[in-house]
Every structure is written in C-alpha cells, then in structure tokens.
Amino acid sequence: MADPLLRVEKLVRRFGGILATDHVSLDVAKGELHAIIGPNGAGKTTLISQLTGHLAPHSGSVFLGGRDITGLPAYRRSALGLARSFQITSLLPDFTAADNVALAAQAHHGHSFRFWANVRKEKALRDAAQAALNRVGLGGRADVLVSRLSHGEQRELELAVALATRPQLLLLDEPMAGLGVTESARMVKLLQELRREVTIVLVEHDMAAVFALADRISVLVYGRVIASGAPADIRQNDEVKRAYLGDQHVVVKHG
C-alpha cells in the first residue's frame, strides 16, 4: 500500500490502571472509509480523542500524510486537515447554524485578529457556510439558533461544521447516536455521498450502517484491535464473533 493518509503506531493511553488504548496500530488509506467498532467501553472515543489532539497518548505515534502529529495541539491538527464530529453533540448553542459553520470556515481562511470589519458581511465565509449547510440538507435552517434545532439537525450541523474546515480526514464519533430510523437513513445516505470526497474514520454502534458503508473495519475490544479487514472478513472472523458480534448476529446477517 502507498503511504497511508493516517497511520497510528502502537498508541497507548492509560487511565490509572486501565489500558484504554492498548498498543493500537492502524492504517487508513486515502479515500477509504474506515470504521471502528467495538462494545461499549472498548476505548473508541479515547482513540478518536488522541487522533484529534484532545487527549495526549502515553506512548506511540500518529502520522497524518506522513507527518508526525503526535505532539500537536488540536487547533494545529485542524489546520492540517483533520476534522472531527463529537459523539455528544458539541456545537455553539447560542449561535445560529450559519454562524457555527462560518466560524469553522473562518478558522481556515486567514487569521482572526481582525477587530473592525463586520464578520457577518464577509461574503466568502457566508458562502462557504451556506454551501456546507446545503451539503447536509440544512440550507433552509441557516438563521436558526442551534438550541432550537432538533437533535437530528444538530447531528447534521456537526457534519457541516467539520466539512467547512475542508478536511482531508474526517473523524466521525457516532454520527448516528440518538437518531431515529428515518434520520439514520438520511445520515447514511449523506455519508455515502461524502465518502467520495473525503477520507473518513467512522466510529459507530449502528452495525447495519457500518457494514453498508465501510471499506474496512477495525474491531476494538478492551483497547486492543483484535481484527482489521474488509466487512466480509470481519463477519467471518471467529474472534470477533466471540468477543463482540455474538449477541448481534442477526443484525450482521441482515447488514
């Protein structure tokens, strides 16, 4: 394989005596949609947080496009093209949807030590925000306060915010969490479109969605990657079945 876009090498993170990330190694090729699955408490969010720089690993390295980013703070990684969505919706609740997205565009569009001109009249930022909102189907909700958006709309807005930073790599932490059946279907459809444009690492509990979307799947159990491969291989893998999929067998078959 050519140089992967994201390479994780022997990443270790402890919380007290617990190994939340146990020598995790992972390669994500450019253009791939790589899903990370695992039971509750497997350390998925811990892993994502180390990739985005919100949490420092105790050892190991993270490379983005061949560059070692292990020690970089979150905002620098964002500048290098890494974007994330949060498992628990994390937006600016007292801002409008458009402002949320425009800020993301602004972060990657010149510096923000400008104290005089009205930012809401910067056409480039407003246009970028509107484009990202349209992309996720929120075009008509631009001027609504985030706190007034439905949960499903907020999940979509999370995605628009991430997109507005023009990422190379999108880390999605359970984008389907808390969504109803129709909303989930919309999200899957949306991700299916996005994957053509951007490399995605997807952490998700919804197995149907994961097996429908992923090029490759890594299975995380107790902080360790116990298997990594194409969906068909993962489905056949005995260790995975034992550790994780056993009780969800039915879902997997349907997926």
Largest CA distance in the chain: 62
Q: Which is nearer to another protein, 62 or 162 (CB)?
A: 162
CB of 115 to another protein, least distance (A): 5
Q: Which is nearer to another protein, 112 or 192 (CB)?
A: 112
CB of 229 to another protein, least distance (A): 30
Residues 41-80: x where in contact with another protein by CB under 8 A, - otherwise, as a string: -----------x-x------------------xxx--xx-
Q: Which is nearer to another protein, 6 or 227 (CB)?
A: 6
How far is it, in rounded angstroms, from Cα 191 to Cα 155?
Answer: 12
Burial of 110 (0-12, 13-18, 19+ CB in 10 A): exposed
Q: Which is nearer to another protein, 24 or 103 (CB)?
A: 103
Q: Which is nearer to another protein, 115 or 181 (CB)?
A: 115
Identify residues 73-132 at the interface with another protein (CB under 8 A).
73-75, 78-79, 83-84, 86, 90-95, 99, 102-104, 106-108, 112-120, 122
CB of 135 to another protein, least distance (A): 16
- CB burial of 14-36 (b: ≥16 within 10 Å; e: otherwise) equals eeeeeebbbebebbbbeebbbbb
CB of 162 to another protein, least distance (A): 8
Identify residues 165-194 at the interface with another protein (CB under 8 A).
165
Q: Which is nearer to another protein, 22 or 122 (CB)?
A: 122
How far is it, in rounded angstroms, from Cα 73 to Cα 80?
Answer: 11
How far is it, in rounded angstroms, from Cα 36 to Cα 34?
Answer: 7
| Count of residues near another protein by CB under 8 A | 37
End-to-end CA distance of the chain: 28
Query: What is the DSSP pairing of strand 169-173 with strand 199-203?
Result: parallel
CB of 5 to another protein, least distance (A): 18
How far is it, in rounded angstroms, from Cα 19 to Cα 224?
Answer: 9
CB of 90 to another protein, least distance (A): 5
How far is it, in rounded angstroms, from Cα 153 to Cα 212?
Answer: 22
Q: Which of 99, 89, 77 is nearest to 172 (CA)?
A: 89
Q: Which is nearer to another protein, 149 or 221 (CB)?
A: 149
How far is it, in rounded angstroms, from Cα 49 to Cα 106?
Answer: 23
Q: In a 3-state reduction of DSSP, which class is residue 240? A: helix
CB of 78 to another protein, least distance (A): 3
Interface with another protein by CB under 8 A: which residues?
Answer: 52, 54, 73-75, 78-79, 83-84, 86, 90-95, 99, 102-104, 106-108, 112-120, 122, 161-162, 164-165
